[in-house]
Structure 1
């Protein structure tokens, strides 16, 4: 799919148009010279001047296009782990050139649209706007500033409203027609990240129609690739909409993001977030799995338009790793550790398969004691096998606890990491681990989404998944959302006041983002230990204090009553 979503770099016949126009200029000059005494001399001179002006316009436009293309292509060569001191100036130069290109085509549209000048088509204007949208999107990926994601949406929406790509299928040229498909796919990603699900539904229908038309009328070589892109898109949206419906048959709304905040007082202690998913069968779209999407959403705030004086350095950077190798995870963790100060946290989220025990390295015949076999277990970044090159062991993460480290593991092997030793006294770290096992009737790591991550995304979604709720009254769902919010706040307050709360956890709970993760972890543990088909066992999930269960009893009862699923719990 990556090739289908890449930027088109195909050329066009503008150079030949300029040559033709230059020939016309020469002809006009010859005509003006040979008929200097004729009544039409002034008209010929004016025509020559206009043609020369059009030549300059076309040449200047092509030069801006060339510079913009070079800078845009160069962005692909900038590693995601490179320092902002390197990539920000490059982004600024690229934005500057694209701004000049956009304004230039606006000011000279009439001349550029002339066939004997440049022959500018509407889809080419749309391509410029689409690349500007991509710039804003990639800037968001590097800064996590949702304001720039909103800017990307603005450009993509303008392309749709102004029908820039409506005529591309009429060209009967496959690479030109594919521009609309790429635009549609990119727009959908931005809409999903902004939670504009109504627009997402429209784009899925539009994509199906376009892909069918593309394959039928043009029969391109990459038609199967685009069909797969559509299938991935449709499966992802279906998994995204795996929520109950209300009494009117509408999908129950969920808003995982926090409200927008004052940028002067809303800084988080989290510097970088590494988000990795290695489940091979989870629905994915544009290298984003359902679990990655949900975890990314709970880290976000409601977007606001970026202000010129706004500093986006308070937002934690996020690195999305789709099916990475163990070495790639370690590389990104190491790069982020270098950029993280001793007063900031590095947050690592992993969702994927794993094994609680392991065998010796391939080729070894030595027997392994049970304690050592456990140490050979870990997170499998590739299909499960006793190949330690692709397994992330508990001791692989110890070096990253040199600085404050917050780790969320959603994997069958997560319990192995609970007792990670604290080798660096005074440096806080915390591991939130998913349950070791789920009953057969509860798919903890299903092919669509993981249950533990569903609870972190929002407790109401987790409860709905456990109880397999299909329909909930709209008023009950809204009340459950508010009750879950109160529950989380009560958990945080209780931990802050509890005499046994470790000092490092007090620091964690002052950060809104980390406190929300801790609270939802506790809610998940309480819900699962009270479910009728779950055995109450210490192996089910970590708990910081058993007193939290007493605190949560009333909140759990109220939430279940609002959702109408009390019968599923004891």
Structure 2
């Protein structure tokens, strides 16, 4: 028996249930569900007594599922058991609603059953990264919202209502339902909290007040401009994989594909909602495929549609067999280093053959002795003037330590600080590292020390103060510049040149995307034709999601290399290991042409240092007089 599907929650009772969770466990028909619901307690058992007993058991099952780790390829049996019992509950309340209401069943309890089914789908999505599961959760949550199940005067219902709204909001954000659902939910959370101020305990009110502040900051950073296009790999904006330039058959390649990812981010006071930071939120979507099934093509349906109530076969039709599965992603917020290493070890152990794993780390770093700044010997000499030479503990200061990333608060270094050398044992498997930190350069020490596989690394600039749109504390309010270039490059370019995107109409934005796609394709063709391309990058180019990250990195590096405010400072430029061919270098003629193409269209060519040449690519002017270059 499997989870009740969105067809059932919408009231479709005819026919068998469709498999909306990938076919893993769904096999029941309404008749089978009725038999289990009515016959589970034996003949003559009062439905109300059976229901309350089952509800108590379901609470315990849900608690067990909630405590399960969200990583590992083998789905725990607890999921099937929890879905089975909640399916029975849902059918029982449908078939015996009046008798159960007479026995004391409240509307908020019905809503909580549906909301927990939605949460089970979301938990499965966290493990399996299947966006169809996320869409199932959305449909269940939407039904609960529309039927106002939690508008109950029961003491404590407001807390349950707030929790439901917050969980629904998270699902809606990940699915990019920004036009209607997200503003509606955010407004309801604020209003409900104001109405519940007198009934909530002071500690609970303060906690929910903090949640509302988190939501406000998050929605301000995740602005409509950031949602001009899906962050997921979308056929509407990204080229179909079969049309991409390919490596010549004479070049030896293993055909590695991205199958797993660990996304970890922590900065003090960074923008986040629950445990999902703004940077991991963007990377999470960037490593997924945008649904593009036959239903969408034939009916003009958008994956960002706000409804979901009138499309009973929506998820089935959006399942496109041509799309590869999304890589399994584990999101970690402020993990202890032992826990991070446990997750990493588990994923490496379970990594399928001929696949790669991506590790994304975004965190502040401790510079240590190998960072930028004074020469090491000078610091050692200076330390003697500050401490008593007889005090050996004082001499062993942070100056003598290797650079590290802080995955938590700067206390308890052993459990919160991760060093580049911690990653070396895991280089027995193919790794793709994206390090977004002020000490990203320290991870270059991994190169040459690998234990079997060359690690591919994209490393952020070590300084965040070189860009107009990302200076000072604004970085933490709008997210990392480097991560934005990898996930939303047109928006990152606009912020870099001081344009917040408010005046960019959709037609001009789409044109900028077209120009960027043209540039990315030219870089790709140059790479695949290069005879000096490192074998690890050959493998990266074979995976569409990793290829897109690499090409956007080249765009980021070229843009910052030519940007006048960067002044060609090394700390303002990203780097990669192993190095890429010079033909796609930041100041190569090809890179200058590609950046010029986008900069000229956006009216910002004067902010870049281009070589004096007589021929540049033709650039179309913006399509509206009040468009992108009006304020520049």
CA distance in 2 between partners of 1:537 and 1:272 (Å):
34
2:622 corresponds to: none
Alignment of 1:209 onto 2:191: yes
Quick one: structure 1 residues 309 and 438, their matched pair in 2 at CA, closer, same or farther if it must change by over 3 Å?
A: closer
Of Structure 1 and Structure 2, the greater helix share is in 1
1:46 corresponds to: none
Give 2:453's match in structure 1, choosing from 424, 427, 437. 427
2:137 corresponds to: 152
Give 1:98's match in structure 2, choosing from 56, 63, 86. 86
Alignment of 1:396 onto 2:422: yes
CA distance in 1 between partners of 2:278 and 2:240 (Å):
30
Quick one: structure 1 residues 65 and 363, their matched pair in 2 at CA, closer, same or farther if it must change by over 3 Å?
A: farther
* Residues 7-156 of structure 1: pairs in structure 2 closer than 5 A: 56-85=46-75, 87=76, 89-114=77-102, 118-156=103-141
2:607 corresponds to: 568
Alpha-carbon distance, 1:481 to partner: 1.7
Q: Is the 8 A contact 1:126 1:159 kept in 2?
A: yes
SS of residue paired to 2:595: helix
Alignment of 1:346 onto 2:357: yes
Alignment of 1:482 onto 2:514: yes
CA distance in 1 between partners of 2:565 and 2:450 (Å):
41
CA distance in 1 between partners of 2:550 and 2:61 (Å):
42
CA distance in 2 between partners of 1:464 and 1:61 (Å):
57
* Residues 146-545 of structure 1: pairs in structure 2 closer than 5 A: 146-165=131-150, 167-168=151-152, 170-171=153-154, 173=155, 175-198=156-179, 199-216=181-198, 221-241=203-223, 244=225, 253-259=228-234, 269-303=257-291, 305=315, 314-358=325-369, 364-365=393-394, 373=400, 376-384=402-410, 387=413, 389-424=415-450, 427-439=453-465, 441=468, 442-443=470-471, 446-448=475-477, 449-470=479-500, 471-539=503-571, 540-542=573-575, 544-545=580-581
Q: Is the 8 A contact 1:353 1:380 kept in 2?
A: yes
CA distance in 2 between partners of 1:210 and 1:337 (Å):
45
Quick one: structure 1 residues 511 and 312, their matched pair in 2 at CA, closer, same or farther if it must change by over 3 Å?
A: closer
Q: Would you say how many aligned residue pairs link Structure 1 and Structure 2?
A: 499
Q: Is the 8 A contact 1:414 1:434 kept in 2?
A: yes
Q: Is the 8 A contact 1:444 1:451 kept in 2?
A: no
SS of residue paired to 1:501: coil
Alpha-carbon distance, 1:507 to partner: 1.5
Alpha-carbon distance, 1:411 to partner: 0.1
Q: Is the 8 A contact 2:265 2:332 kept in 1?
A: yes
Quick one: structure 1 residues 224 and 384, their matched pair in 2 at CA, closer, same or farther if it must change by over 3 Å?
A: closer
Deviation per residue, 1:139-184 (Å, 9 max, x gap): 000000011000000001111122212x22x33x1x2221111111
CA distance in 2 between partners of 1:81 and 1:321 (Å):
10
CA distance in 2 between partners of 1:421 and 1:134 (Å):
42
2:582 corresponds to: 546
Q: With the length of structure 2 as denominator, give the TM-score of the two structures.
A: 0.73
CA distance in 2 between partners of 1:228 and 1:309 (Å):
40
SS of residue paired to 1:270: strand
Q: Is the 8 A contact 1:444 1:452 kept in 2?
A: no
Deviation per residue, 1:195-219 (Å, 9 max, x gap): 1112111211111100000113556
Quick one: structure 1 residues 413 and 424, their matched pair in 2 at CA, closer, same or farther if it must change by over 3 Å?
A: closer
Q: Is the 8 A contact 1:130 1:156 kept in 2?
A: yes
Q: Is the 8 A contact 1:342 1:404 kept in 2?
A: no
Q: Is the 8 A contact 2:424 2:451 kept in 1?
A: no
Q: Is the 8 A contact 1:259 1:301 kept in 2?
A: yes
Deviation per residue, 1:531-553 (Å, 9 max, x gap): 11112144522152331142232
CA distance in 2 between partners of 1:58 and 1:499 (Å):
74
Alpha-carbon distance, 1:426 to partner: 5.7
Alpha-carbon distance, 1:394 to partner: 1.5
Alpha-carbon distance, 1:508 to partner: 1.5
Cα RMSD (Å) of the superposition?
A: 3.3
Quick one: structure 1 residues 408 and 252, their matched pair in 2 at CA, closer, same or farther if it must change by over 3 Å?
A: closer
Quick one: structure 1 residues 309 and 415, their matched pair in 2 at CA, closer, same or farther if it must change by over 3 Å?
A: closer
1:26 corresponds to: none
CA distance in 2 between partners of 1:386 and 1:101 (Å):
46
1:19 corresponds to: none
Q: With the length of structure 1 as denominator, give the TM-score of the two structures.
A: 0.80
Deviation per residue, 1:384-414 (Å, 9 max, x gap): 5794553211211111111101100000010
CA distance in 1 between partners of 2:510 and 2:454 (Å):
37
Quick one: structure 1 residues 394 and 252, their matched pair in 2 at CA, closer, same or farther if it must change by over 3 Å?
A: closer
Alpha-carbon distance, 1:194 to partner: 0.3
SS of residue paired to 1:197: coil
Q: Is the 8 A contact 1:456 1:517 kept in 2?
A: yes
1:6 corresponds to: none
Alpha-carbon distance, 1:134 to partner: 0.2
CA distance in 2 between partners of 1:568 and 1:532 (Å):
6
5+ unaligned residues in a row in structure 1: which ranges?
Answer: 1-52, 245-250
